[in-house]
Structure 1
Amino acid sequence: MNKSTLLLSLALIVLSGLTASVHTSTKDEWKKRTIYQLLTDRFSVGGPNGHECDNLSNYCGGTFNGIKSQLDYIQGMGFDAIWISPVVENTDGGYHGYWAKDLYKINPRFGTEDDLRSLVDECHKRDIWVMVDVVYNHVGPIDTEYSQIKDFNKPEHYHTKCQVTNFNDPGNMEFCRLSNLPDLDQNHPEVHKILSDWTVWLVEKFNLDGLRIDTVAFINKDFWSALKKETLEGRLKDIYVVGEVFDGRSDFINQYGSIIGGVLNYPMYYTVQNVYGRSESMYQIRNRMYEQDAVFSDADALGTFIDNHDNNRFLNLQGDWKLFMNALTYTIFGRGIPIVYYGSEQLFNGAHDPFNRETLWNKFNTQSDMYKFMSKLVNTRRNHIDNIAASKQVERYITDKLYAFTRGDVFVATTNVGSYRDQRIEFEVTYHEYAEGTTLCNIFYENDCVKVQNNKFPVVLTYGESKVFVPRK
């Protein structure tokens, strides 16, 4: 090899190393995004129409190419990030992606490596970030036939077989099987290395922007500390992750969020269910905010939501779509990174798994009232995001039935009286930061405007509506 060839080879090696390490989508950057969560198998089959799925407990046919074919639908609502199902090959029946069989093989039911890469590339062309679900806790349901799992094929890769029976016992949760799924031993050096290396491979090979981590509380905190330091911060330059800690206690979920950087805000999820879904006192929001102010160092990094694949949909709790609209309004503009579950824009109302995992194809209705409502919410957040991201959520008015707040220059008023009551709510806002003479207009009705006079402005809500006011330009 001559000198010039050697220098060229070394340069290519250096450049390839730089390419692998430049990927950064940090926590602060993700705070400016609004996430659309979808199940790959249930979102789109790729054509204009799809078959009805007669068994929601098995594969229905959604693919990566199907997602790509409906990016206009997602982008039309203003979303600039998507969270998709785990992408690895699963054991039989793992339509949801949580039953890993081979970490380094893409699930053929969803498509190929090229299909996934093409989806990510097309998303990035549209400034849509891609978050992929990942599982470190367990593999597919193979009992003790460990040879069926490509990467973890030895008994010593797993904890001794036992079942999780006590969700208040960390030892039971960390060392036993959730739903009889073989429980990986993350303290085993080989398991730890495989998981770390695979994470880097997945993110870098497919140019991912973030990760959602499943079943975080079922793995010991030492593993998360090591993964964060060595892999997420070190090798991946502090990529943002949001973990699932399925618990309503703020101090408990913070034990994990303070390590990995972000968690789903289940405590606020339960509060939103109470105040909007059950019409309980709005003061619960204030109390939860105060509680979380004292617990979290960065509550803006929490993932906020009102629906997902593990919980009954909001409209299954109650069928009043006005209450649903109020809950969505709060979630989109409230503190945290908003996550909207697919089908919310079409008023899906599925109950528990698998009925909350409906197929969306044949229902891509961009003219529905809820789709248009969602588009107004998300696009307004996006258009005001620099101001919102730099501002705190500040309560401006509260009663048992009303909660109003600002994020930056956006004023939000929500109520929980519902659409079935002929109730008119009127109030004056005196605690605010708008300049005298500012005109504020409702994003849903451009002629519904109020003016700040004598340092106050009136707000009227009728028939259970929510309102979002922004300054007139």
Structure 2
Amino acid sequence: MLAILVLSYPDPKSFRKQRIYQVITDRFAGGDDCNDKRYYCNGNLKSMAGKLDYIKNLGYTTIWISPTVKQTELPKEQYKGYWPSDFYKTNPKQGSDQDLKNLVTEAHKRDLLVISDINYNNVGQCQDGKVSCITTFPLDAYYHENCNISDSSNSTQLEKCRVNMNPDLNQDHPYVLQELLDWTIWYQKEFNFDGFRICFVQNIGHRFWAALKQISPWFTIGSVQNASYAELKNYTNQELYTTFNEPLFKAVYETIGWQNKSMRQLSEVFEQAALIFGDNVKDLGIYLDNHNTDRFLSSCGKDLMKFQTGVVLQHTWIGIPILFYGTEQKIYGSNSYSNDNTEPLWTSWYGYNESRDYYIMIKKLNAIRDKVKMDKINQQELLVTDDFYSYSRGNQVLVALTNQGYTKQQQIRHKVPNSPFEGNTRICDILTDECINVNEDESVDIFLSNGQARVYIRESLM
């Protein structure tokens, strides 16, 4: 009898209702003291499986784990997982194949999906400067020539030269192309993943992504750093399922972050995304920070009201919210040589405290997303000024934000017209539990004190 390969995975479109929690395995659970964060701190898969309820209780429905494959000896920072040597082996620094399978099984028992990070672009560096330690692609012929990227706007350099001197796979080579595709099918089936996050997208040609699409009908979300919406659209046209919302990330960083630019920039990216993506804007990933960026709490100068504003926007903006581990415990740090942005969560300063203020706040935001089915409702801009932005989600939620932060000690008042609520409706801010009445003309009088954000819903939903 002919064997039929059956792959199990959720419908990619169902990810619109997901809320994703990004984990770096080496930094999430079970590790040691970590004096030099450029190296392994010994967090592991087995310990992560024991902390799944912490993520579940926070209100997330999907875990994005760092790359799982075995790494090379060089360079530093292998703990992040982007320097593979053997695609068919689990990184022994973080556990065994069975540990990884157990993690996915335990997550699924809790109705948590698991997506794994994948790097198709390059391998790591071997001690002898060659590719002798690369088990899956051991021949020089499988790589592009040795050149470094000097111009990030040059697509040829991006696709054919090396990222940080790491050997660059030639996806146009028949063996490399087929092996990457075959491995992808094996990897998904072997560990029962629900989808993949993919890095270095702009460093690989469109031909490969089109071929990958033919064999990977599950959810894929790609990182195309610093890309415009038009560029992102090119990668989601019969290639990746979706991407991260890069223009929004930049706008939030520049408006709410340390630059304090006009909030009108948020209005511009909202309009551009809707124009180019239409309804598919609901699939874009919304992030404030990750392993490649400064922590948002650092980029906004540790101003907790700016931090709150960013987190509120991330969880109420149209798209899929993606939280970097530890944000709920107010981890901060820069993406510097010392890797301060990847502090271990188990340290006594942070830990897994489910009663801390931002853990509770994020839990509330996730609960509201679930309650009002935010994945199904559109976003409407209500009022924008240089220091104020308000929008609604369907007829369920009204959000009001400012970029002034706590340090400026400003009191901001606006009458927001055309609210999503009927006149005289009683609405409450989920962040403070303060309630007000909607005006008869359906406008809402908004008061923001010292940089606070507001998320209003009907009192009946409280």
Q: TM-score range by the shorter chain?
A: over 0.9
Q: SS in structure 2 opposite 1:366?
A: coil
1:127 matched residue in structure 2: 111
**How is 1:31-430 mapped onto 2 (pairs within 5 angstroms)?**
31-45=16-30, 51-92=32-73, 93=76, 94-142=78-126, 145-229=130-214, 231-232=215-216, 238-258=217-237, 259-277=239-257, 278-297=259-278, 298-317=280-299, 318-353=301-336, 354-362=339-347, 363-385=351-373, 388-408=374-394, 409-430=396-417
Q: Distance in 2 between matches of 1:312 and 1:246?
A: 14
Q: CA RMSD in A?
A: 1.7
1:458 matched residue in structure 2: 445
- Number of residues of Structure 1 aligned to a counterpart in Structure 2: 446
Q: Distance in 2 between matches of 1:27 and 1:440?
A: 34
Query: Does the 8 Å contact 1:106/1:113 carry over to 2?
Result: yes
Q: CA deviation at 1:452?
A: 4.8
TM-score (norm 2): 0.93
Q: Distance in 1 between matches of 2:236 and 2:367?
A: 28
Q: SS in structure 2 opposite 1:242?
A: strand
Q: Distance in 2 between matches of 1:447 and 1:244?
A: 39
Q: Distance in 1 between matches of 2:455 and 2:431?
A: 8
Q: Distance in 1 between matches of 2:232 and 2:115?
A: 21
Q: Distance in 1 between matches of 2:454 and 2:138?
A: 56
Q: SS in structure 1 opposite 2:447?
A: strand
Q: CA deviation at 1:303?
A: 1.1
Structure 2 residue corresponding to 1:436, chosen from 423, 448, 455: 423
Deviations 1:404-438 (A, max 9, x none): 11113111111111112332222223213323343
Q: CA deviation at 1:248?
A: 4.2
In structure 2, runs of 5+ residues without a counterpart are none
Amino acid at match of 1:443: I
**Structure 1 consecutive aligned stretches of length 4 or more whose deviation exceeds 4 Å:** none
1:5 matched residue in structure 2: none
Deviations 1:218-258 (A, max 9, x none): 011111111112x11xxxxx211111111142222332233
Q: Distance in 1 between matches of 2:313 and 2:446?
A: 17
Q: SS in structure 1 opposite 2:288?
A: coil
Q: SS in structure 1 opposite 2:268?
A: helix
Q: Distance in 2 between matches of 1:170 and 1:447?
A: 52
